[in-house]
């Protein structure tokens, strides 16, 4: 298992005014395309050297766990407690980004049979099956959620590697103070027996954990047992990656006879553990009745793999007064290389939540589409991160913002790595990989 590393790249070198980016935008055919390839490769050399020259050396994250006196009252098993108390703060002691190697059995098959249909039942499963005392955790969140998110997929023109870019956008607003609360993000490494190794990313606010929760002297750490099922995006050892993005409208409620229920984040856990590629992932989803929290709106999935395949999975019904219940596979089209917060399915196109009418994420979507077209659907990793910065959200225009960018990631599906910046701090990056 390889843990995260911290890097500080020179953002100037990654700016799209660099000559390589203009070179990539030229149209070429036949012999011109051949010459263009060599020209790009030639130009990449000074770019790579510049990036090396103006970057700090990558330094290993300290393996020393964060000291804490916080309790985990519902966990008594020694192996579980050792795992909980092995959490590493990747910035030393800032409490914003942690890394965890989840080493005990998180009982995926039991979770799939539990028919989890929302966060309440997920919490019940965690207490009943993952913890050692049958008491409701004292951790309760009073956070309201306002979500955005953006994602795209394309090859890296310099290496041929396949990339997936992803912004996770969420406003966490305290119901009492009306103040915005920032993440702690938890990078969770898993290696289940008989399943695929993966790294996934969790927003601790979803279970009431504030920044610095791990050693704040008051937060109970028992809910860390549930983190394999709290993921919002991730990648596995085969180079398959998946993320979830918010939609407006009624929540999905499939009720096909003979199928078990599955909840959004549990589904992503299943996909990372079992799917080698996009096609396998969609086949797996077909076997379950998808559900989403009744009061938390709806979601669609964006996924990609190391072979260069990508897809959007949506659950639809043209009658928006009904709960969407038809799974659609949307793929094999360059227009589907990017996604934000409206339905892209033709079924939903002329509803207020569809691509022809919705404004939720439309400005971000247009920015993604225009830049992907500009560069003929081929970027570099630095340019891909720059593109994420262009659709990042913050408090500057609250009337237009539907979230705050908690993290930005470039998934390299070929190399099975993730480069992450948190809270729009694009001069700092954390890298994760699967061995």
> What's the confidence (pLDDT) of residue 399?
54
What does the alpha-carbon distance between residue 430 and residue 399 come to, in Å, rounded to a whole number? 31
- Convert the pLDDT of each residue in 104-152 to its tens digit: 999 999 999 999 998 889 999 999 999 999 876 555 544 444 567 999 9
Residue where the block lists tokens 């020393």 = 64
Q: In order along the chain (435 residues), what is the average pLDDT of each group of 10 residues?
A: 50 42 37 35 35 38 77 97 96 94 98 93 94 73 61 98 96 70 91 97 91 94 96 98 95 95 97 98 98 82 98 97 96 95 96 93 96 97 97 75 88 98 95 90
What is the radius of gyration, based on Cα positions, of the chain?
21
Structural domains for the chain: 59-433 (3.60.60.10)
Are 23 and 41 spatial neighbours (Cβ–Cβ below 8 Å)?
A: no
Residue closest to 378 by CA, chosen among 31, 45, 10, 28: 28
Are 405 and 169 spatial neighbours (Cβ–Cβ below 8 Å)?
A: yes
- Convert the pLDDT of each residue in 253-307 to its tens digit: 999 999 999 999 999 999 999 999 999 999 999 999 999 987 667 899 999 999 9
Residue where the block lists tokens 């012999």 = 31
- Convert the pLDDT of each residue in 133-146 to its tens digit: 987 655 554 444 45
> What's the confidence (pLDDT) of residue 323?
94
Tell whether the torsion through CA atoms of 137, 268, 200 and 295 is positive or negative: negative
DSSP string of 78-127, one letter each residue = HHHHHHHTT-EETTSS-SSEEEEEE-S---HHHHHHTT--SHHHHHHHII
> What's the confidence (pLDDT) of residue 401?
65
> What's the confidence (pLDDT) of residue 40?
37
Are 25 and 374 spatial neighbours (Cβ–Cβ below 8 Å)?
A: yes
Give the number of other Cβ atoms within 10 Å of residue 56's Cβ: 11
Structure tokens of 201? 């990313």
> What's the confidence (pLDDT) of residue 206?
85
Residue closest to 226 by CA, chosen among 204, 243, 197: 204
> What's the confidence (pLDDT) of residue 182?
76
What does the alpha-carbon distance between residue 170 and residue 393 come to, in Å, rounded to a whole number? 9
């Amino acid at each position: 298992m390889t843990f995260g590393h911290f890097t500080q790249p020179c953002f100037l070198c990654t700016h799209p005014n660099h000559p390589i980016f203009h070179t990539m935008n030229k149209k070429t055919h036949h012999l011109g395309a051949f010459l263009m390839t060599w020209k790009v490769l030639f130009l990449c050399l000074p770019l790579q050297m510049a990036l090396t020259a103006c970057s700090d050396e990558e330094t290993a994250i300290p393996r020393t766990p964060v000291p804490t006196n916080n309790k985990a009252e519902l966990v008594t098993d020694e192996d579980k407690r050792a795992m909980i108390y092995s959490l590493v703060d990747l910035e030393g002691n800032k409490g914003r980004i942690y890394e965890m190697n989840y080493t005990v059995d998180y009982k995926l098959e039991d979770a799939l049979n539990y028919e989890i249909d929302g966060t309440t039942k997920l919490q019940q499963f965690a207490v009943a099956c993952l913890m050692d005392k049958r008491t409701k955790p004292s951790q309760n969140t009073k956070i309201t959620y306002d979500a955005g998110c953006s994602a795209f997929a394309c090859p890296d023109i310099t290496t041929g590697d396949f990339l997936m870019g992803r912004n996770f956008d969420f406003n966490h607003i305290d119901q009492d103070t009306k103040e915005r609360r920032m993440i702690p993000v938890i990078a969770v490494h898993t290696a289940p027996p008989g399943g695929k190794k993966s790294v996934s990313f969790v927003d601790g606010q979803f279970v009431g954990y504030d920044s610095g929760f791990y050693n704040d002297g008051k937060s109970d750490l028992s809910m860390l047992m549930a983190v394999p099922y709290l993921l919002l995006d991730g990648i596995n050892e085969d180079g398959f990656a998946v993320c979830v993005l918010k939609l407006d409208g009624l929540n999905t409620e499939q009720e096909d006879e003979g199928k078990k229920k599955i909840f959004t984040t549990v589904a992503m856990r299943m996909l990372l553990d079992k799917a080698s590629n996009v096609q396998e992932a969609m086949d797996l989803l077909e076997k379950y009745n998808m559900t989403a929290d009744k009061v938390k709106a709806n979601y669609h999935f964006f996924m990609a793999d190391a072979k260069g395949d990508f897809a959007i999975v949506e659950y639809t019904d043209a009658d928006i007064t009904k709960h969407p219940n038809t799974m659609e596979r949307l793929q094999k089209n360059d227009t589907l290389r990017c996604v934000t917060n409206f339905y892209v399915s033709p079924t939903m196109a002329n509803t207020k939540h569809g691509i022809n009418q919705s404004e939720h994420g439309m400005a971000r979507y247009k920015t993604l589409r225009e830049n992907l077209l500009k560069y003929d659907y081929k970027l570099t990793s630095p340019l891909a991160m720059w593109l994420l910065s262009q659709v990042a959200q913050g408090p500057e225009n609250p009337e237009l913002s539907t979230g705050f960018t908690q993290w930005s990631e470039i998934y390299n599906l070929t190399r099975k790595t993730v480069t992450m910046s948190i809270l729009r701090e694009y001069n700092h990056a954390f890298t994760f990989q699967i061995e």
